[in-house]
Amino acid sequence: MRVLLVEDDESIAHGILAGLRAHGLTADKVGSAAQAEAALATSHCDVIILDLGLPDEDGMSLLHRLRAAGMALPVLILTARDAVEDRVAGLRAGADDYLLKPFDLNELVARLHALLRRAAGRSVDIIERGPLRLDPASGEVWLDGQAVILSRRELALLAALLQACGRILNADQLKDSLYHFNEEIESNALNVHIHHLRRKLGADLIETVRGLGYRIATVNP
């Protein structure tokens, strides 16, 4: 899961990013509404954490504008404002969830997973495909009931492919779910991770669609 954090307070942002990354999530931070719009226009993310008090625009009005433009990603508002009217206004503006500062990081992570699960139309958090099971929240993977150990990037790659439910993801989309904004990406890195996943989970797990990208192979009944 790739998270975009929109938060101008450096120390809060730093704590959240460190916490999300420690939970195995790919997370990036921007500090203003303008930067958030630029990031959304140029890179892929799965869920947005939005602070309301931003330096250039109120988070609520940013959200309103993004929703009006058709932005469908799940959004969790993070704020110190605890008035009921603010919460209602946030949900009306198109937020999917609301968390008050100060908050517990485990709760934030659990809510992000729940948002993503709802966005994917799943009611339980475990993703299954044939003999393969993935718990995105804990990062555990089983093949035929046996636990399989994956690296953080292999896990992120597998989760992105499984969550796409058989849709083709191109290399840029996959790289976006694996790397933070400023990370150096070696040109061959994606192929290497795909190769490792196939070796650990079966050669036919991930299908290469020539010229387009990759997808999770369909399971024969």
Three-state DSSP class for 111? helix
Give whichever of 8 and 37 is closer to Ca ion, judged by the CB atom: 8
User: Least distance in Å: CB of 17 to Ca ion?
Assistant: 15
**The token pair that represents 179 in the structure block:** 């790397």
| Residue 80 per-residue DSSP state | S
| Rg of the chain over all Cα atoms, to the nearest angstrom | 18
CB 206 within 8 A of CB 197: yes
Give whichever of 20 and 197 is closer to Ca ion, judged by the CB atom: 20
Contacts with Ca ion, residue ranges (CB under 5 A): 8, 51, 53
Give whichever of 58 and 104 is closer to Ca ion, judged by the CB atom: 58
> By Cβ distance, which residue is nearest to Ca ion?
53
| Residue 162 per-residue DSSP state | H
Give whichever of 51 and 154 is closer to Ca ion, judged by the CB atom: 51
The terminus-to-terminus CA distance of the chain in angstroms comes to 28
Give residue for tokens 């790919």. Answer: 26
CB 4 within 8 A of CB 30: yes
| Residue 170 per-residue DSSP state | -
User: Least distance in Å: CB of 6 to Ca ion?
Assistant: 9
User: Least distance in Å: CB of 66 to Ca ion?
Assistant: 18
CB 52 within 8 A of CB 93: no
User: Least distance in Å: CB of 8 to Ca ion?
Assistant: 5
Give whichever of 32 and 173 is closer to Ca ion, judged by the CB atom: 32
Rounded-to-integer distance, Cα 158 and Cα 216, Å: 9
User: Least distance in Å: CB of 96 to Ca ion?
Assistant: 20
Q: What are phi and psi of 49, to 5 degrees?
A: -105, 120
Give whichever of 8 and 96 is closer to Ca ion, judged by the CB atom: 8
User: Least distance in Å: CB of 29 to Ca ion?
Assistant: 12
